[in-house]
């Protein structure tokens, strides 16, 4: 059977859960992302604010100094035109000195009034500076402010701020790990106690071990659920025991009575045929009850069942039910060596349903039971496999499109599926080469089921 059939959960969902992060990891990751996000936001905000304030201060200082330099120049035009002003370098160019400006500072010529960021080179390498420009009709004033040290300080500041981001991110990781441990500790304890209590007949009360918080409420809800589940299981066990006793007793009476009647020498052939039919029905009921009890208890019974012998007995039983149909039932393949560790009742119910469906839907031709190394094939020459039947394989209560007015509740292959899940077998139904279908009961689990159909 496929994994989804064995444990009731679709395989894709189990795969999704497998890759889902643990709650502890999600808490730690949340703290890490929160700390990283906040510190990065703070770093960018700090860098932005620093640059804005610095630019505003530099521009204000340069504007005031170039205005002051122009005032000093106009108060005494005879002084040196190039003067240092408050750790800056000021220049003034009159029309007779334009040639020097073009020679020494050609990049300044086309600049308009305002503040500009420029780079230059000297014997120490490349440097950056801010230049304030004031141009009049008769004089051009320039104020240069070396920004190299400021830029170096900005680089050091960026290194410090991003180092702080790393430090605070690591701190957030540690805080997240500590918080996750504190938060998940009671949850882990609850899971461990719940796991230990599963090995006993009576579940251990959980709520008494936890405070009245969210985990305590969860423990209380689990206690209530466990109590209700235990009650249901107890009722189910009692029902199974009662059914086993109450049904086996009349079946044993029927079996004994039929055996006594069959031993009478004065039986006519018609009466003997009916008694044999009653005997086969009693055996089928006994096997079915045994198999259903195994399924209800979810426990594997043990035994050494000869599959070929069980198949021959099932074919004999169905030959008597063929009636007027031109149908041949036969057993092929090696008829010794295939022995499985399971009660004969389980094998008889699983294989009997496959043979019974083949006989029911095949009006003429043959039904062949072929023995393989670790499997049994039931091959019929019936009407074949429809798309609707293939889509609803082993669905409880579904009766195939060829069921018409035949008897049955559509639960036969559902029981086969559950028996296969219990014992680790696999069952598969595929279209035949020309017509009919091939049902394979494998006693060695397969990785996947092929195309299948549900036969009631």
Indicate whether 263 and 322 sit together in one domain: no
CB 359 within 8 A of CB 327: yes
Domain identity same for 153 and 211: no
Q: Note the pLDDT tens digit of each residue in 185-227.
A: 787 777 777 777 766 556 677 777 777 777 788 888 888 888 8
Strand ranges in 337-415 using DSSP code E only, listed in sequence order? 339-340, 364-371, 375-380
Residue 382's pLDDT band, with cuts at 50, 70 and 90, is confident
Residue 16 lies in a domain: no
Classify 298 in phi/psi space as left (phi over 0), alpha (psi -120 to 50) or beta.
left
Query: pLDDT tens-digit profile of 387-441?
Result: 667 666 666 655 555 555 444 445 678 888 888 888 889 888 877 767 788 888 9
Number of domains in the chain: 3
**Separation of alpha carbons 367 and 381, rounded Å:** 7
Q: Same structural domain for residues 324 and 398?
A: yes
Q: Tell me if 379 sits within 8 A of 436, measured CB to CB.
A: yes
| The pTM of the whole model exceeds 0.85 | no
What is the pLDDT at residue 14?
Answer: 46
Which neighbouring-strand residues pair with 119? Answer: 128
Whether the per-residue pLDDT at 21 is higher than 80: the answer is: no
**Contacts with 412 (C-beta within 8 Å, 6 or more apart), sequence order:** 353, 356, 357, 455, 456
Cα 55 to chain centroid, rounded? 54
* Residue range 317-372, pLDDT digits in tens: 888 777 778 888 889 887 777 888 888 888 888 888 888 888 888 888 888 899 98
407 and 386 within one domain: yes
Tell me which of 179, 196, 213 is where a domain ends: 196
How far apart CA 209 and CA 311 sit, in angstroms, is 56
Phi/psi zone of residue 302: left (φ > 0), alpha (ψ -120 to 50 degrees), beta? Answer: beta
pLDDT score recorded for residue 390: 63
Query: What does each C-alpha distance from 36 to 154, 162, 166, 180 come to in angstroms?
Result: 22, 11, 8, 17
Cβ-contact 438, 432 below 8 angstroms: yes
Q: Are residues 167 and 245 in the same domain?
A: no
Q: What are phi and psi of 451, to 5 degrees?
A: -60, 135
Q: Are residues 244 and 287 in the same domain?
A: yes
| Residue 452 within a domain | yes
Containing domain of residue 235, as a range?
198-299
* Co-location of 27 and 155 in the same domain: yes
Map tokens 């190394």 to a residue: 373
114 within domain boundaries: yes
Q: Are residues 446 and 321 in the same domain?
A: yes
């Amino acid at each position: 059977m496929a994994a989804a059939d064995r444990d009731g959960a679709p395989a894709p969902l189990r795969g999704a859960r497998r890759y889902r992060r643990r709650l502890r990891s999600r808490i730690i990751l949340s703290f890490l992302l929160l700390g990283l996000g906040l510190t990065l936001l703070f770093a960018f905000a700090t860098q932005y604010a620093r640059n804005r304030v610095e630019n505003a201060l530099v521009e204000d200082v340069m504007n005031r100094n170039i205005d002051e330099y122009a005032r000093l120049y106009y108060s005494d035009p005879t002084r040196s035109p190039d003067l240092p002003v408050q750790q800056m370098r000021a220049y003034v160019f009159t029309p007779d000195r334009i040639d020097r400006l073009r020679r020494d500072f050609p990049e300044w010529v086309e600049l308009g009034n305002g503040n500009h960021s420029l780079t230059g080179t000297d014997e120490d390498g490349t440097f950056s500076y801010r230049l304030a420009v004031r141009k009049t009709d008769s004089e051009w004033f320039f104020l240069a402010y070396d920004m190299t040290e400021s830029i170096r300080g900005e680089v050091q500041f960026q290194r410090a701020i991003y180092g702080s981001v790393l430090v605070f991110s690591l701190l957030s990781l540690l805080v997240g790990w500590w918080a996750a441990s504190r938060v998940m500790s009671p949850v882990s304890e609850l899971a461990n106690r719940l796991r230990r209590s599963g090995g006993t007949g009576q579940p251990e009360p959980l709520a008494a071990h936890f405070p009245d918080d969210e985990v305590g409420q969860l423990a209380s809800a689990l206690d209530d659920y466990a109590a209700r589940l235990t009650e249901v299981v107890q009722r189910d066990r009692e029902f199974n025991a009662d059914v086993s006793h109450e049904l086996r007793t009349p079946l044993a009476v029927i079996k004994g009575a039929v055996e006594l009647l069959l031993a009478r020498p004065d039986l006519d052939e018609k009466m003997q045929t009916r008694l044999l039919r009653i005997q086969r029905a009693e055996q089928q009921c006994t096997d079915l009850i045994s198999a259903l009890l195994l399924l209800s208890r979810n426990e594997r019974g043990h035994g050494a069942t000869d599959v070929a012998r069980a198949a021959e007995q099932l074919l004999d039983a169905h030959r008597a039910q063929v009636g007027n149909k031109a149908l041949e039932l036969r057993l092929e393949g090696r008829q010794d060596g295939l022995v499985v560790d399971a009660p004969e009742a389980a094998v008889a119910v699983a294989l009997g349903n496959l043979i019974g469906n083949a006989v029911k839907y095949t009006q003429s031709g043959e039904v062949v039971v072929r023995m393989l190394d670790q499997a049994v094939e039931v091959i019929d020459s019936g009407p074949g496999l429809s798309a609707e039947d293939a889509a609803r394989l082993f669905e409880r209560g579904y009766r195939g499109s060829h069921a018409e007015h035949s008897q049955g509740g559509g639960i036969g292959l559902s029981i086969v599926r559950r028996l296969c899940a219990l014992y680790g077998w696999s069952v598969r139904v595929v279209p035949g080469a020309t017509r009919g279908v091939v049902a394979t009961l494998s006693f060695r689990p397969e990785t996947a089921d092929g195309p299948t159909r549900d036969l009631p």
